[in-house]
Structure 1
């Protein structure tokens, strides 16, 4: 398959794109085959440099050498996704680089070069014979007798240790390899493989990307990057961020239209979490159909939200709403109460988990900044409902709002336009709003 991701795909990050609304920016990132993780990885460095330059110029009371425009939608999206907080969904830990002991000698014996060469050859022969432990021993002897060890010794021993299932020891060799040979691509390949085997996929991607820059004509780097990106996108933390980025323009439109600092925006998504959390471009690449979903949006104050949640947790029927998180852990009212009282724009998303077919809860806090509104397309208020409001609200009581009805309710076929609010209690049922 032809790789459509030319270097110009990063234009959405390099250029200002101040004219784009948030929805178009999110869709453009998907069209350019960015995941949330790869967007943040690509954008954070350039945006960090921009901020450092602004701070330096302010401290020096000087104008920047290049005129910088105001914040753009790309800057806002980068900060929104970087500042996203999730309850109960932990980010994968970053691997810590181990200390690297010096194994070679400062007082080599005469003829050490010949000994090192012979041990290296023995190690390579043992590797060919799949005697990986023997290979490690010979490469180690070659390193120990050397005054200036060959960088390939560490790379070769790294490969043998990986095949022996010793990724932590292999990581030391890979780090030493790139330290001694910073312009040698193979060292970064070994480093990427080690981080990946240890489960630290973000660091693996950085290593593979560095190797690709050193050897851009080698197409194998792209294969390693795509393999690792696919593994990363399957992590629950990344899936949650990807889903929320898909929905973010509509979430913020609903929030800015109707919510307040003491509100909770609750979404009930009638669709598959795993499918909705997969990038659209990934579906197209793999020949699967991009998913659709029916979504209900509701705005409640925190007290009403917690009252409904407590009633749902005590209910014997939980078909339409979640009573546990993605890990299967029961929702905790004290934990959620603490999170909602300290967080910014709180969003609760119930979505179907394909692993067991049950609804699971995602509770997140989205940071809001000044200037965000100009990038959010305000939804057009639909006409008041023509059908009986009471019958619609009766359904809502059975599907997640048993104690207190939301002040605002809206709906969306995703992808599609958000209809919000469809019901405004003060407008459509004032008696119920006061209840």
Structure 2
């Protein structure tokens, strides 16, 4: 996975007309390429071994404007073209004027960046902050060099003896004895390492940041910064620090290992697994949402599968010798009033198939749901999925809905009305999560696989049951 891969995907996703040579090498064939659909882009990212988190991070580096490459013809090809009077070169022209950020790849980036999850919070929603006061001496003593060197030596000895608290004290005395122009970056680096050993990651990060500030071209400062950020769970920032160190020290292969280790830890967190799950399901979530065309409702997914299976990239599972996650999913669209009525009934009398707790084990509260959902220009999505212990947990998410989104979504063909008795189908639904109000639309999917939505359209199939 690389920025170059993303640039090629953007080019592939850009609407254009291409003139390519015919097999007989004497003529041109005109081919039109429209927008790639969202499902194809999501699958392409997986094939390129991107996760949701790595895509979000690396896409920021993609050039806004890209010029298509113009391949050169050899002399023989030029002669053939000349004989036919076709001296025009290969062309890749937009079908119509397009904005530089108007491909489905850009759209997916905006969708993921704009998605908000109630619990667990995504990394972009977590407040950050660390401060470290400058401790060096403004008026150092005449013997500061001897004092600083002695304390640094004692700190190093204490560190070797694994007496990290004492090492911190010695490094602090050395810093406070030295003026700013001294080689303070090594002392802050050493104290950062010692603080990491006593689980003071925020203080270690503050030391690392001062080290980088004092010696921006010293690679070890970036290593200290990255390890502290990783310990704090700030994985994207940690990867950025390691990549900065790699640019300072391109021949050191250890940087690649640190990036890979951090990325894998990142993808194993519940927040990242939720983000990955949402990216997997986005094409189908948006197809059902746009089909319902009611901003005041809620799309509720009941996923008969585990987050630790479906929230991991398919390519990573295959690399680890596991099969990609599979699940049966029920898609139900309810109006706001019906959704809240069902939620209240399920909270009062829980059933196994419906979640009443979030992923952190906190009870769902209707006032929290009401304040989180129903934002203008956002889809409200409730996902029930199994945790590692097999218990159903709830994910509440809002996904941004932009004008023009429909062109990237493949509209599913409406399935035929169910052949079974509508009454029996609705009775079954009332026992599995819809005790007070039936969904306006109901559909199903074997994931991965085609979405069948809506299998039931209440106004079409059972108008007497519609509220």
Question: TM-score under structure 1 normalisation?
Answer: 0.85
- Shift of residue 131, structure 1, vs aligned partner: 4.2
- Shift of residue 121, structure 1, vs aligned partner: 4.3
Q: What are the ranges of 5 or more consecutive residues in structure 1 without an aligned counterpart?
A: 51-66
- Shift of residue 70, structure 1, vs aligned partner: 5.1
Q: Indicate the structure (1 or 2) with the bigger Cα radius of gyration.
A: 2
Residues 8-407 of structure 1: matches in 2 within 5 Å?
8-11=4-7, 15=11, 17-18=13-14, 19-44=35-60, 69=100, 71-92=102-123, 93-107=126-140, 109=142, 113=145, 116-117=148-149, 119-147=151-179, 148-150=181-183, 151-315=185-349, 318-342=351-375, 344-355=378-389, 357-407=390-440
Q: 1:313 to 1:107 in 2, by over 3 A?
A: closer
Question: TM-score under structure 2 normalisation?
Answer: 0.80
Q: 1:172 to 1:70 in 2, by over 3 A?
A: closer
Deviates more, 1:182-191 or 1:275-284: 275-284
3-state SS of 1:384 partner = coil
Counterpart-to-counterpart distance in 2, 1:346 and 1:161? 43
Q: What per-residue deviation string (whole Å, max 9, x for no partner) do you get for residues 367-388 of structure 1?
A: 1001111111111122222222
3-state SS of 1:39 partner = helix
Counterpart-to-counterpart distance in 2, 1:154 and 1:378? 57
Q: Is the 8 A contact 1:143 1:149 kept in 2?
A: no
- Shift of residue 200, structure 1, vs aligned partner: 2.9
Q: Is the 8 A contact 1:323 1:331 kept in 2?
A: yes
- Shift of residue 181, structure 1, vs aligned partner: 1.3
Q: 1:363 to 1:172 in 2, by over 3 A?
A: closer
Counterpart-to-counterpart distance in 1, 2:100 and 2:340? 43
3-state SS of 1:342 partner = coil
Q: What per-residue deviation string (whole Å, max 9, x for no partner) do you get for residues 251-300 of structure 1?
A: 00111112311221111111112211112222122222211000111112
Counterpart-to-counterpart distance in 2, 1:15 and 1:222? 27
Q: Is the 8 A contact 2:189 2:221 kept in 1?
A: yes
Q: What per-residue deviation string (whole Å, max 9, x for no partner) do you get for residues 136-179 of structure 1?
A: 44444443444422232222232223224333332232112111
Q: Is the 8 A contact 2:226 2:238 kept in 1?
A: yes
- Shift of residue 327, structure 1, vs aligned partner: 2.1
Deviates more, 1:358-367 or 1:225-234: 225-234
Deviates more, 1:295-304 or 1:28-37: 28-37
Residue 410 of structure 1 aligns with which residue?
Answer: 443
3-state SS of 2:13 partner = coil
Deviates more, 1:148-157 or 1:292-301: 148-157
- Shift of residue 23, structure 1, vs aligned partner: 0.9
Q: What per-residue deviation string (whole Å, max 9, x for no partner) do you get for residues 221-260 of structure 1?
A: 2222222223222333222222111101000011111231
Counterpart-to-counterpart distance in 2, 1:329 and 1:139? 43
Counterpart-to-counterpart distance in 1, 2:197 and 2:60? 35
- Shift of residue 392, structure 1, vs aligned partner: 1.7
3-state SS of 1:364 partner = strand
Q: 1:134 to 1:302 in 2, by over 3 A?
A: closer
Q: What are the ranges of 5 or more consecutive residues in structure 2 without an aligned counterpart?
A: 15-34, 66-97
- Shift of residue 412, structure 1, vs aligned partner: 0.6
Q: 1:372 to 1:101 in 2, by over 3 A?
A: same
1:425 aligns with 2:451: no
Residue 61 of structure 1 aligns with which residue?
Answer: none
Q: 1:170 to 1:338 in 2, by over 3 A?
A: closer
Counterpart-to-counterpart distance in 2, 1:289 and 1:91? 26
Counterpart-to-counterpart distance in 2, 1:332 and 1:372? 32
Counterpart-to-counterpart distance in 1, 2:270 and 2:211? 33
3-state SS of 2:275 partner = helix
